[in-house]
C-alpha cells in the first residue's frame, strides 16, 4: 500500500513540474501560435541565476529559496521578452522561420551556458526541509514534491485569473480572435503579445529553479531535457490548452512513475506510446480544439 501511495504522489508531484515547464509553452502557442523551441533556454538561464542568488544569500534559508524563485521568474520573463522583440516579432505568420530561429537560439544558448558554467552538472543544496520526507499512509514522500504541487497550483490559478479577469487578458484573447479589429480600436496588440511571452518566460523561470531543486543539480542541458517532456505534455493535452496541459502533465508523470517502478524502468517508453496513441486517435489532444 505504501509503495502505491508513494508512486502516485511522486507521479503527481513530477506532473506538477512538467506543468510548470509546459504551461508557458502551451500559453505562447495557444495565444500566439508560436512553437518556441527556445523555451528550455529560458528555464536553464533562470535556474543558473537562481542558483547564483541562492549561493550569495545562503542556500539553507527559506528566504534565499523564495528570492531565487522570484529572480528565476524575472530572468525568464526578461529573456522571453527580448526573444519576442528581437526574433519573433518580425516572423509572425512565418512558422517555419520561427521554428528555425528558436531551435538555433536553443543550441546557441546551451553552448553559451557551457562556456560560462562548464559542461559538468553543478550540485546544489536548498533548505534542509526540502531534502526531508513526510509520512503519508506509511509512505515517506520527499518534501520537494509538495512544493512542486503548490507552485503548479498557484501558477495555474494565476494564469487563469490573468486571462479571464484582467483587462490585458481580455485584450490578448480578443487580439487572438481578431487582431485587426482590436488594432482599429487604438489598442497596441503587439505590446500585449510581448506580455504573453514574458508571462510564459516567467513560468519557465519558476519551473527552472524548482527543477534545479528537484534534480539537486543545475547544468547547461537541464532545460533541454525537460523541454522534451513539456512538448509531449503540450501535444497530449492539446496544443494551446492550459487545462489540457495540466491534465496531461499528471497523466504522463503518473504513468511514467508506475511504469518505472512496476514495469522495469520503461516509463519513457510508455510515455512515447501514449503520445503515439493520442496522435492516432485524437490528434487535437485530450482537451484541444478540433481543427
Residue 290 lies in a domain: no
Residue 171 lies in a domain: yes
Strand partners, 136: 139
d(CA 284, CA 291): 7
Q: State the pLDDT at residue 264.
A: 84
Q: State the pLDDT at residue 76.
A: 94
In the chain, pLDDT over 90 holds for what percent of residues? Answer: 41
Q: State the pLDDT at residue 182.
A: 62
The three-class DSSP label of residue 151 is helix
Residue 288 lies in a domain: no
Using 50 as the pLDDT threshold, list the residues of the chain that sit under it: none
Nearest to 204 by CA among 13, 67, 45: 45
Q: State the pLDDT at residue 154.
A: 93
Is residue 232 a contact partner of residue 271, using CB atoms and an 8 Å limit? yes
30-61 as b/e, with b when 16 or more CB fall inside 10 Å?
A: bbbebbbbbbbbbbbbbbbbbbebbeeeebee
Is residue 35 a contact partner of residue 98, using CB atoms and an 8 Å limit? yes
Q: State the pLDDT at residue 155.
A: 92
Residue 195 lies in a domain: yes
Residue 20 lies in a domain: yes
d(CA 256, CA 265): 9
Domain assignment of residue 143, given as a range: 2-281
Which residue shows C-alpha cell 526541509?
A: 129
Nearest to 48 by CA among 132, 109, 131: 109
Residue 291 lies in a domain: no
Residue 287 lies in a domain: no
d(CA 258, CA 264): 10
Which residue shows C-alpha cell 491534465?
A: 247
**Each residue of 46-63: pLDDT tens digit?**
999 999 998 888 777 888
The three-class DSSP label of residue 133 is strand
d(CA 103, CA 24): 17
Q: State the pLDDT at residue 90.
A: 84
Distance of CA 180 to the CA centre of its chain: 31
> Which distant-in-sequence residues (6+ apart) come within 8 Å of 76 by Cβ?
24, 42, 43, 45, 46, 201, 202, 203, 204, 205, 206, 208
Q: State the pLDDT at residue 289.
A: 67
CATH value at residue 112: 1.10.3470
The domain tally of the chain equals 1
d(CA 218, CA 44): 8
Residue 8 lies in a domain: yes
Amino acid at each position: 500500500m505504501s509503495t502505491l501511495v508513494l508512486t502516485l504522489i511522486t507521479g503527481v508531484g513530477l506532473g506538477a513540474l512538467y506543468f510548470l515547464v509546459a504551461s508557458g509553452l502551451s500559453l505562447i502557442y495557444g495565444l500566439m501560435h508560436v512553437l518556441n523551441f527556445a523555451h528550455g533556454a529560458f528555464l536553464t538561464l533562470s535556474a543558473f541565476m537562481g542558483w547564483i542568488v541562492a549561493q550569495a544569500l545562503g542556500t539553507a534559508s527559506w528566504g534565499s529559496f523564495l528570492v531565487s524563485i522570484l529572480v528565476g521568474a524575472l530572468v525568464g520573463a526578461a529573456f522571453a521578452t527580448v526573444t519576442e522583440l528581437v526574433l519573433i516579432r518580425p516572423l509572425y505568420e512565418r512558422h517555419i522561420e520561427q521554428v528555425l530561429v528558436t531551435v538555433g537560439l536553443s543550441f546557441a544558448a546551451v553552448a553559451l551556458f557551457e562556456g560560462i558554467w562548464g559542461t559538468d552538472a553543478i550540485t546544489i543544496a536548498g533548505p534542509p526541509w526540502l531534502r526531508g520526507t513526510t509520512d503519508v499512509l506509511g509512505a515517506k514522500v520527499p518534501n520537494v514534491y509538495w512544493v512542486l504541487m503548490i507552485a503548479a497550483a498557484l501558477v495555474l490559478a494565476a494564469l487563469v485569473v490573468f486571462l479571464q479577469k484582467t483587462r490585458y487578458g481580455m485584450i490578448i484573447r480578443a487580439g487572438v480572435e481578431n487582431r485587426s479589429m482590436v488594432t482599429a480600436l487604438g489598442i497596441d496588440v503587439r505590446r500585449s503579445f510581448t506580455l504573453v511571452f514574458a508571462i510564459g518566460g516567467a513560468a519557465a523561470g519558476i519551473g527552472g529553479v524548482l527543477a534545479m531543486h528537484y534534480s539537486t543539480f543545475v547544468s547547461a542541458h537541464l532545460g533541454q531535457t525537460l523541454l522534451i517532456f513539456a512538448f509531449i505534455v503540450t501535444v497530449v493535452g492539446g496544443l494551446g490548452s492550459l487545462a489540457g496541459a495540466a491534465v496531461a502533465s499528471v497523466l504522463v508523470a503518473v504513468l511514467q512513475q508506475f511504469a518505472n517502478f512496476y514495469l522495469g524502468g520503461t516509463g519513457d517508453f510508455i510515455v512515447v506510446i501514449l503520445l503515439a496513441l493520442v496522435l492516432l486517435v485524437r490528434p487535437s489532444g485530450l482537451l484541444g480544439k478540433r481543427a
